[in-house]
Amino acid sequence: MIISVEGLVKRYDGHTALDGLDFSVEEGDIFGFLGPNGAGKTTTIRILNAIIKADSGNILIDGHNVFKEPLAVKEIINALPESNGYYEWMTAHEYLEFFSNLYEEKKSKKDIYPLLENVGLSGKEGHLIRSYSRGMKQRLGIARALVNKPKLLFLDEPTNGLDPKGRRDIHDLLIDLNRKHGTTIFLSTHLLDDVERLCNRIAIINYGKIVREGELGGLKGKGTIEDIFFMSTKEGTL
């Protein structure tokens, strides 16, 4: 088990964003984390990424306690946040080199090129990021999230705002990462197509609680993914 979450609670100014969240993710999964807007997806990811603190609960990532060993966790995970900004004055190569330098195992200048090639940006490494299209920036964000060869990759709405070709490319990249490199992927999205194409397991969150969790194949026996989603999130109950 690469992620184990127990009784996670997070409150903001009296509002309970996460209300005793429990779930787990197995190594090698592409785990879909679904929920309507405001259900607590981004908050969950930020807590799992050791960026914000929880009020209570317990999280183990690859055996490390996220609250006690945040820097050890950050060495083995990485993420592409929902609204990822870029240092637009840098070139793609400089951007990846900068982030690579912040890890124990740094990449040499020439190790950066395969990363860019993997995300379809080879030949563009010397261009300033400000000249990139949205899709190219998204790919660069994924390349940044791969600089430390993470065992576990968190993606928050990675295909949002991309055209069909851009979405297909990202899908292919993620499948490739998972199958060839064994990277576990935690995918937060409300695009059900993405889930259907990529995920083997899902959890649905609503009002800060997991309302359904399991193998996608098993759950789909009860209807389409859309049916499952709407049944699970209606009024916050099953």
Binding site for other proteins (CB under 8 A): 46, 49, 51-53, 71-72, 74-75, 78-79, 81, 83-87, 89, 98-99, 101-104, 141, 144-145
CB of 216 to other proteins, least distance (A): 27
Find all residues with CB under 8 Å of 224, minimum gap 6, and list them: none
Q: Which is nearer to other proteins, 56 or 237 (CB)?
A: 56
Q: How far is the CB of 152 from other proteins (least distance, A)?
A: 12
What is the rounded CA–CA span in Å between residue 14 and residue 97?
41
Q: How far is the CB of 133 from other proteins (least distance, A)?
A: 17
Task: Return all residues near 140 (Cβ < 8 A) that are at least 6 apart.
Answer: 86, 92, 95, 96, 119, 121, 129, 132
Helix, strand, coil percentages, rounded to 5, for the chain = 40, 25, 35
Placement of tokens 């903001």 in the chain: 12
> CA 221 to CA 201: how far, in whole Å?
14
Task: For other proteins, give the closer residue by CB, 104 or 235.
Answer: 104
Nearer to other proteins among residue 44 and residue 233 (C-beta): 44
Our CB check for other proteins shows the closer of 40 and 81 to be 81
Distance in Å, CB of 101 to other proteins, minimum: 4
